[in-house]
């Protein structure tokens, strides 16, 4: 893999390239696990990948309707559940929307940094912070149901 000839690529090209490899990674993952990566699952992942912002289920339904004209909200939610479970996408609870995993897929704890100005979301592992939170939770006996810490603020590009 030679990536050095790619240095002049602009933001859009880079994003599309990342999207393509995310879809490829998802496809490989499903093949390896023997899971069916149906057309609708693929289409929804692609739409979320291509978006520069978190995407709402309702918008996804509107976007897939031309290709899947019998698509219902339940169709979209089922596909989203699948993509969430496999870690290809993550839910942004505070926005009630979805983003593509920046690593193709992951299933461990993460931090989402949400810019309130440009609406870009950065996914980070934030290991130390998660460890601190987990310790606090253990001490209080509280059982957390989410794996994501969301922080709203201003990103480096908007400061």
Which chain residues interact with Zn ion by CB under 5 A? 101, 106, 115, 117-118, 155, 157-158
CB of 35 to Zn ion, least distance (A): 18
Q: Rounded to 5 degrees, what are φ and ψ at 139?
A: -65, -35
Q: Which of 21, 19, 92, 30 is nearest to 55 (CA)?
A: 92
Nearer CB in complex with Zn ion: 79/113: 113
CB contact at 8 A, 99 and 89: yes
Two structure tokens written together for 77:
């939610």
CB of 72 to Zn ion, least distance (A): 28
CB atoms within 10 A of CB 145: 5
Nearer CB in complex with Zn ion: 75/111: 111
CB of 66 to Zn ion, least distance (A): 29
d(CA 75, CA 83): 13
Nearer CB in complex with Zn ion: 61/109: 109
Nearer CB in complex with Zn ion: 41/110: 110
CB of 121 to Zn ion, least distance (A): 9
Paired strand residues for 100: 89
Q: Which of 53, 59, 144 is nearest to 99 (CA)?
A: 53
């Amino acid at each position: 893999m030679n990536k050095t000839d790619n240095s002049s690529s602009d933001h859009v090209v880079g994003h599309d390239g990342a999207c393509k490899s995310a879809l490829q990674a998802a496809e490989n993952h499903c093949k390896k696990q023997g899971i069916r990566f149906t057309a609708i699952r693929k289409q929804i992942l692609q739409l979320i990948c291509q978006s520069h912002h978190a995407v709402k289920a309702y918008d996804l339904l509107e976007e897939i309707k031309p290709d899947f004209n019998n698509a219902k909200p339940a169709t979209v939610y089922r596909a989203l559940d699948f993509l969430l479970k496999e870690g290809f996408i993550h839910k942004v609870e505070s926005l009630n929307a979805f983003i593509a995993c920046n690593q193709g897929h992951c299933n461990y704890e993460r931090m989402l940094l949400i810019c309130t100005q440009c609406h870009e979301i950065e996914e980070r592992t934030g290991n130390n912070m998660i460890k601190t939170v987990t310790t606090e939770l253990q001490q209080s006996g509280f059982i957390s149901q989410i794996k994501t810490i969301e922080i709203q603020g201003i990103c480096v590009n908007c400061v």
